[in-house]
Structure formats: structure tokens, C-alpha cells
Amino acid sequence: MNRIERVFLRVMMAVVALALLGGAVWGPVRIVELALGAGPPRPGETIPRQITYRGFLERDSVPVSGQLEIGFTLVSTDGGTTWRESHVVQVASGHFSADIGEDGGIPAVLLDDPGVSLSVQVQPSTNGPILAGSQRLLSVPFSQRALLAQRAQAASTATDVLATQVVPPGVVSAFAGTVPPVGWLLCDGRAVDRGTYAALFGAIGTSSGVGNGTTTFNLPDYRGRFLRGVDNGAGRDVDSATRIADNGGNAGSQVGSAQPDELRSHQHPLMILSGSSTGGGAYNVNANGTNWQLNGSLFPFGGIAAGVGGVETRPTNVYVNFIVKY
């Protein structure tokens, strides 16, 4: 997941805290600006579990400089969960920052708590002054949005997995549109990249074509064709062994092989009647193609009947696009 949207809250507060720190007296202290945002997620995290804290620190109206220990305490709304962390930070002309949760991550129960509060303390190991005591983090909705985004991402991942299980790569479908939906390609025989469409390549390989032989493979080419189930020893396609390959793909009784059109060999029976003519000329007919006589004249028997029909043999059909899931 990309860096979570930063949410900034400007806080003007005056906290009077008198305490001894290294022999010095801290007068009126105020955090002029407080900025909260999400740090980058660590390895294995879907969302970040740390908060980037930036502030401007003054002492007696003078910006503070130097190295200080800053302690942070987060408390849940019901007070049942408390989490603490300290950082040694460099304060430059009042400016300082720290990544709360950098060491081990803020507990999710606090990130998911809309009423979590934060207190900030200088030199907590020596009981230094509290700069901000139990201030409710109004900026915490960023974490709620992050968690919602995490849940949405998980749901999206589950949906993708389910979609892959329901419609795995390599499934072919008839499609009445012209532009295939997301996740599908037209079965037009073109060469596509093996890496880009790795799942599809894993399913169909080079059954419909080898592409360039190294980095591409061919999609099935079903344009103007009917689909037929692989015979696989059933004996229904007696010419399965002579099926040809598309684009160097599979031949024979395998997925992806093709056949040209063909008309099955057949015969048309011919029946001829014989008899005597009233004109006195007898005729004899030999169905094997010998000459026959009619009214004293010889005629060769044989010939070709006039052709009827079109340019192919086909059933009634309607066009669709075939598409394949990748």
C-alpha cells in the first residue's frame, strides 16, 4: 500500500509546567504546532503502525535547541490500554520530530480507537515536564481510513482470488460486445507477452502458437471458426491425427489444433428406366457409363449435374467474439 494520506492538526496550547531539568527551570512551555501523519509501513505491514510527530517547542517564548528525550504515551478511550515510547530527538530552533511506533509499532487497538489520547513529556526518565497531557488525537481518523483501506484491500484480494477460482485463466467465452471486459482478451491469434500474461501462459502455453519462441505466445484464433471438443480417443473425429497447428502450436489430437473445411465422401444413387420407344427405336442404358441408343442414335452416357448451393457448407449461425480470461 502507498503512503497513507497525511492528516495535519494544528494545535495552539499553553501548558504551564514548572520542573527542574539539569539545573534549569522550564518556564511557560507551549507546543506551537503539532503535525501528525503516517510513516511508511515496515516489511510485512499492509498499513503503517507508526505516527510521525512534528512539533515546535518554546521555553519562555524562546525556541528550544539541543538534544532532548521526548516521551510519548497513548491511552485508549476506556483507559484499558496504555502504550509508551521514548525518543532522543534533536531540537533545532524549536523544531523536532519523532516517529512514534518506530521501535515496534503502535498496537492496532489504539490505531482503531477514535478516542485515543496522547501525552508528550520532556525527559520522562527524570520526570520532566509534561508538554501535552492526555490530548485527544483528533487526527486519528487517518488510521481509521487506513484500517478501512486495509479491509477494503483484503476484500479486494479475496474477490480477485475468488474470481480466479470461479473463472480461471484460459477459460473461453462467447461475448456479444466488441471490446473485451477487464481481464479478458479477444481470441484473435495475436502474439502477447509471456510475462504480462503469465497466468494465461501458464494455462494454455503455446498450444495456439509459439509467438517469437522466447518472450511471446499466441492467443487462440477463433475468428470465423466453430469450436470442437478434443476427441481424446473417443473416435468421433476420425481425422484427429491429421489436424494441423496454428502458428506453430499444437497439432494432432490436442487443444489448439485446427482442421480445414471438408465435405464427407458420399454417393448419390441414379435410377434409369428402360423400355421400347413407340418409334421403333429401342434404347439400352448401361449405368456404368457405356453408350446407350435412343431412336437409332448413339449418345454417350455420363456427365455432371448442374451445381447448386454456395461456397461453403454451414449451419445457421450468428456472429460473436470469442474471448479468453487471462
Q: What is the pTM of this model?
A: 0.46
CATH number of the domain that residue 135 is part of: 2.60.40
Residue 205 sits in the same domain as residue 324: yes
Tell me which of 18-22, 87-91, 200-204 is least confident.
18-22
- Do both 31 and 131 map to the same domain? yes
What integer pLDDT is reported at residue 1 of this predicted model?
Answer: 36
Q: Kindly state whether residues 112 and 197 are assigned to the same domain.
A: no
Question: Could you tell me if residue 213 is inside a domain?
Answer: yes
Do 181 and 211 have their domain in common?
yes
Number of compact structural domains in the chain: 2
Task: Domain of residue 235: give its range.
Answer: 167-260+318-326
> Confidence band (pLDDT; 50, 70, 90) for 174?
very high
When computed from its CA atoms, the radius of gyration of the chain, rounded to whole angstroms, is: 42
Give per-residue pLDDT as tens, 114-123.
788 888 888 8
Rounded CA separation 130/53 (Å): 16
Same domain, residue pair 122 and 194: no
> What's the average model confidence in pLDDT over 6-21?
26
Percent of the chain with pLDDT over 70: 65
User: Looking at residue 23, what is its pLDDT?
Assistant: 28
Tell whether 211 and 137 lie within a shared domain.
Answer: no
Residues 117 and 179 in one domain: no
Residues 97 and 132 in one domain: yes
**What pLDDT, on a 0 to 100 scale, did the predictor assign at position 45?**
53
